[in-house]
Amino acid sequence: MFVDSHCHLDFPELISDLDSIMQKMKQNEVEHALCINVNKPDWDNVINLTEKYDNLSASVGVHPDYENTAEPTVEDIVKYAKHPKVVAIGECGLDYYRLAEPLEWQRDRFRVHIRAAIEAGLPLVIHTRQAPKDTIKILKEEGAERCGGVMHCFTEDMKMAEASLDLGFYISMSGIVTFKNATQVQEVAKNIPLDKLLIETDSPYLAPVPYRGKRNDPSYVMHVAEKIAELRGISLDEVGRQTTSNFYKLFPKIKSNS
């Protein structure tokens, strides 16, 4: 069995086809998916979506790419975190790829999410792109080891992975690990401890080989696991079992709800 630790089922590309996707998940032995919130106005919609299915959970957060949007407060996030379906805080973090300085608003927003996660007692879902030093620096300054979390869709190097692991964070691999030129990501997937590894689709984006360039959905997460099994020289079953166990360990609220 597999789990998808990061997807966006509320996005237009997927929500209109949700029943079919849920059936495909069942066929491919994907037993649970975590639906990630990216913008405050959508929090209720994502939570309402997950309430319709026992095998879906939600997060609450605001993505660092959303510049001109309603800023969440610690109190806002903690209030939503009490909902039974909300099992994580995020997606939050830093992204220096699309936006240019001054980005203090982005760093401030990141700190708000960390403080809320600590107060709520829920793990963080971190988006970090071309900002490894500041991401680790802020996590340390805010004491993020108290809540832990996951570096989602990891694309950084082994040094960043080790710094994240030192803070008690998990590393999640997306379909990027199946791409031919993704040697840095593959090196991380091969070498980090298996008990700190998660798998995800980040759907509807980043479909793994052999579906690269097409619409992604949680049923394809097994192909991420297949590539990790190949890289590590272990069975697909072992990757599936361990990453699923890791998922429920990081997000224990899911099991407590079942």
Q: Identify the CATH number of the domain in which residue 219 sits.
A: 3.20.20.140
Q: Domain for residue 143, yes or no?
A: yes
Per the domain annotation, does 74 fall within a domain? yes
The answer to whether residue 121 is domain-embedded is yes
* φ, ψ dihedrals at 208, nearest 5°: -75, 160
Binding residues: 6, 8, 91, 127, 152, 202
Checking if the pLDDT of 256 tops 70, the result is no
Residue ranges of the binding site for a divalent metal cation? 6, 8, 91, 127, 152, 202
At 120, is the secondary structure helix, strand, or coil? helix
What average pLDDT does the structure give for the chain?
97
Residue among 120, 178, 179, 185 at smallest CA distance from 152: 185
Domain count, the chain: 1
Domain range spanning residue 14? 2-250
Residue 43 φ/ψ, nearest 5 degrees: -55, -50
User: Cis (ω within 30 of 0) for the bond into 64?
Assistant: no
With 0.95 as the threshold, say if the pTM is over it.
yes
Examine residue 81 and state whether it is found in any structural domain, yes or no.
yes
> How far from chain centre, in Å, is Cα 30?
16
Give the tens place of pLDDT for each residue, 108-155: 999 999 999 999 999 999 999 999 999 999 999 999 999 999 999 999
Q: Tens digit of pLDDT for each residue in 194-244?
A: 999 999 999 999 999 999 999 999 999 999 999 999 999 999 999 999 999
Which residue stretches of the chain are H helix? 12-15, 18-27, 43-51, 74-81, 104-120, 132-141, 158-166, 183-191, 221-232, 236-250, 252-257
Q: Does 256 map to a domain?
A: no
